Structure 1
């Protein structure tokens, strides 16, 4: 879900900005900043690298991924996913974005103190590991702010709102995969104490969760095409239809679940990448000359791959429901 968090926040922020009269460039910029902040809470998976340190080559590639995710459970979706922490961190990041002025130094110092306070709170409430990932969270957010300040004209208030939206939108995407986030850290919260189950069949649940991820990516694609005045339909090459052949995988491989999904995820994404990347002739759908601009090529490649994955998912789900599930 890492990609979905960022793209969903990007799309909503960009489309809202456009609705409020922003230029296309400005809307895309604030969307990109919001997307970066939406990805920030998952910096806590950095601790999972300790799992890779304990992995043995003899365990195979699957053993490496298992070791990584097993280690991540020690702290993933805890302090950095809290809306309480986000409510403090967002204004702190906004203060760090204050540019040259009489009060800039004081503002940035205040932002730094707020972030330091969050690290101290995590240390007291949940120990050294929580403080470590909170420090990574603070440093990562400061890097996002520094990049936004250098490369964009966004005001501190806008960066604050982008940070707040990104941080608060993130936990919702985790409700259907793995354990639910620690919404109110450091306080107890009965809200969504367990995973939201989309279907009693674990494979159908995984397929539905994957569809939600794809929907977030499609929303981002719609936002990009709308803001750059491009046709989404024209950018999708008909070779995406090859994704329909993936339906036979439902008859040939072990049905995937959240606990064992690597073979499904890697294979379906591989189909999409092949459909998007393989180009034998210039695309006739765009009506462009042979010297196609690189941005257009990238857009067609990405949207064709996305369409292929979507078609592959639909056909896989249809075959699974009709031919594999018990009647």
Structure 2
């Protein structure tokens, strides 16, 4: 769901900005800002790298992934996923986006840094050194994004704060179907939504449903990009996406995937999409010159990306249909 977090925040922010009358390029930019902030909470998985230190080469690739995620359980979706922390951090990130070198801008940035430092201190008291570490990574990541925006755009600090708040607040909801729920109100108790939302009692169908939600989010973001750039998303889909239907036979050949063991499914279905999107007919010299003249690089990339996504979508539908008919209890 890492990609879905950022793309959901991006799509909604860009649509709202467009609805408010912003010029399309600016609307897409503010959407990108929201998406960047929406990706920041998952910086807490950096701590899970310590799990790899305990991994033995003989354990294999699955052993490495298990060690990684086992180490993440104590800290992932905790401090950095808190709605309370987001409400405090977002204005601080806005202050860090203040431009200028006079006394007032420097004071504003200093206040933002002080607020983030206070969050790290609170995490240290409530959650110990590991909580403070990931909160520090969270704060530094937000600082990098805010300063990059200040240097490369004219987006106001208030707009940065709002985009940051939306991005950070939108993030935790995507975790409800894929893992343990986030610590919604850290450092306070979180008495709501304390368990994972189960889409289906069959663990494989639950995984397929979660994967479908991720795909729908990506389609939503692509639709927003096409809308704001006056492109047709359907016209970008090449017929080779239909090859993804052949992936249905994989349901008969592999161990049914679940959230606990899904790597073989995820990697293989993404490979189908990449192959369908990247492999294209070799154009003749004349056709190639026409392509270079009439089809900008962005158009080509859009076709590849949309075709790959369509192939994955077709593959998911085929896999699900075969599983329901031939395997599901």
Normalised-by-shorter TM-score class: over 0.9
Residues in 2 aligned to 1:207 and 1:45: alpha-carbon distance in whole angstroms: 24
Residues in 1 aligned to 2:25 and 2:134: alpha-carbon distance in whole angstroms: 33
Match of 1:301 among 281, 304, 310: 304
1:92/1:141 CA distance change after superposition, 3 Å: same
What's the offset of the Cα at 1:146?
1.0
1:255 aligned onto 2:256? yes
What is the aligned partner in structure 1 of residue 137 from structure 2? 136
Residues in 1 aligned to 2:163 and 2:89: alpha-carbon distance in whole angstroms: 12
Residues in 1 aligned to 2:23 and 2:282: alpha-carbon distance in whole angstroms: 35
What is the root-mean-square deviation of aligned Cα atoms in Å?
1.3
What's the offset of the Cα at 1:289?
2.8
What is the aligned partner in structure 1 of residue 319 from structure 2? 316
Residues in 1 aligned to 2:192 and 2:220: alpha-carbon distance in whole angstroms: 27
What is the aligned partner in structure 1 of residue 164 from structure 2? 163
What's the offset of the Cα at 1:224?
0.8
**Are the counterparts in 2 of residues 179 and 195 from structure 1 also a CA contact under 8 Å?**
yes
What's the offset of the Cα at 1:282?
5.2
What is the aligned partner in structure 2 of residue 232 from structure 1? 233
- Secondary structure at the aligned position of 1:290 is classed as helix
**TM-score relative to the length of structure 1:** 0.96
Residues in 1 aligned to 2:53 and 2:103: alpha-carbon distance in whole angstroms: 48
Runs of 4+ in 1 over 3 A off after TM superposition: none
What is the aligned partner in structure 2 of residue 149 from structure 1? 150
Structure 2 residue runs of 5 or longer lacking an equivalent are none
What is the aligned partner in structure 2 of residue 74 from structure 1? 74
Residues in 2 aligned to 1:279 and 1:146: alpha-carbon distance in whole angstroms: 40
1:92 aligned onto 2:92? yes
What's the offset of the Cα at 1:290?
2.4
1:124/1:97 CA distance change after superposition, 3 Å: same
What is the aligned partner in structure 1 of residue 184 from structure 2? 183
**Are the counterparts in 2 of residues 81 and 170 from structure 1 also a CA contact under 8 Å?**
yes
Residues in 2 aligned to 1:49 and 1:303: alpha-carbon distance in whole angstroms: 33
Structure 1 residue runs of 5 or longer lacking an equivalent are none
- Please, which moves more after superposition, 86-95 or 61-70? 61-70
**Are the counterparts in 2 of residues 29 and 152 from structure 1 also a CA contact under 8 Å?**
no
| 1:12-161 equivalent positions in 2, closer than 5 A | 12-100=12-100, 102-161=103-162
**TM-score relative to the length of structure 2:** 0.96
What's the offset of the Cα at 1:62?
1.3
What is the aligned partner in structure 1 of residue 242 from structure 2? 241
1:167-186, Cα deviation, whole Å (9 max, x unpaired)? 00000000001111000001
**Are the counterparts in 2 of residues 85 and 185 from structure 1 also a CA contact under 8 Å?**
yes
